[in-house]
Chains A and B, each alone.
Chain A
Amino acid sequence: DTGVSQNPRHKITKRGQNVTFRCDPISEHNRLYWYRQTLGQGPEFLTYFQNEAQLEKSRLLSDRFSAERPKGSFSTLEIQRTEQGDSAMYLCASSLTLTANEQFFGPGTRLTVL
């Protein structure tokens, strides 16, 4: 499968715990994006990388959220001290720089914070 992959697909955690999600983009894509989607809403931008450089972060991204893409390939999104309001689907997408808006999404990680 040459599409975007994400792990885990589902995560249930208790409030206050830390969680980490992984995204593997389409292999030749140098841009990687993270979005969050809650029920009844469209995806909401969190952050994106070009290669290993994090180029933009949403103002919605609190200090508890951190993302990395250390070698310009896969990326991780960590949420520290999770809150119930963090419950959502976390989507990863990738694209080429040249066609940056043509983004292809992975299956998402559904986070439930109890």
Chain B
Amino acid sequence: EDKVVQSPLSLVVHEGDTVTLNCSYEVTNFRSLLWYKQEKKAPTFLFMLTSSGIEKKSGRLSSILDKKELFSILNITATQTGDSAIYLCAVGSSNTGKLIFGQGTTLQVKP
């Protein structure tokens, strides 16, 4: 059965810290891996990764995919209180339109 596992499930850091969120997957016919940020509303799109070893970067956030080891990481540097949210990892396969989501990592950034 296809599955996506995220770790840690929750994390508390202080402003300025760097955090690394993990996502591992077992999905038939992998096509892409996506990261979303969810505050008290719908998930907002961060990154989509399809190729191994190519880092995607947006400001203080970056992510990379390892298709051999079946995992991805999301890094956030110099965290701010506005980064507090649930970070969701999702995987899409090529033979279906659906995304399979992990449980999410709840990040709390304290001032």
Please list the residues of chain A having a beta carbon within 8 angstroms of any beta carbon in chain B. Answer: 4, 31, 33, 35, 40-45, 48, 50, 55-56, 58, 91, 95, 100-108
How far apart are A112's CB and chain B's nearest CB, in angstroms?
16
State the total of A-B contacts with C-beta under 8 angstroms.
64
Are A43 and B41 closer than 8 Å at their CB atoms?
no
Residues in chain A near residue B58, CB distance under 8 A? none
Are B97 and A31 closer than 8 Å at their CB atoms?
yes
Partner of B43, one of A56, A58, A101, A105: A105
How far apart are B40's CB and chain A's nearest CB, in angstroms?
10
How far apart are B104's CB and chain A's nearest CB, in angstroms?
5
Interface residues of B: mostly helix, strand, loop or mixed? strand
Known: A42-B104, A107-B41. 15 other contacts (CB 8 A): A35-B101, A42-B103, A44-B101, A56-B96, A56-B98, A58-B98, A91-B43, A100-B97, A101-B31, A101-B32, A102-B34, A103-B45, A103-B99, A105-B45, A108-B41
Please list the residues of chain B having a beta carbon within 8 angstroms of any beta carbon in chain A. Answer: 4, 31-32, 34, 36, 41-45, 48, 88, 90, 92, 96-104
Residues in chain B near residue A44, CB distance under 8 A? 101
How far apart are B67's CB and chain A's nearest CB, in angstroms?
15
Q: How far is the CA of A35 from the CA of B42 in the complex (A)?
A: 11
Which 8 pairs across A and B sit closest by C-beta, in order of nearness? A42-B101, A101-B92, A45-B98, A105-B42, A101-B32, A48-B97, A105-B43, A107-B42
How far apart are A72's CB and chain B's nearest CB, in angstroms?
15
Q: How far is the CA of A107 from the CA of B34 in the complex (A)?
A: 18
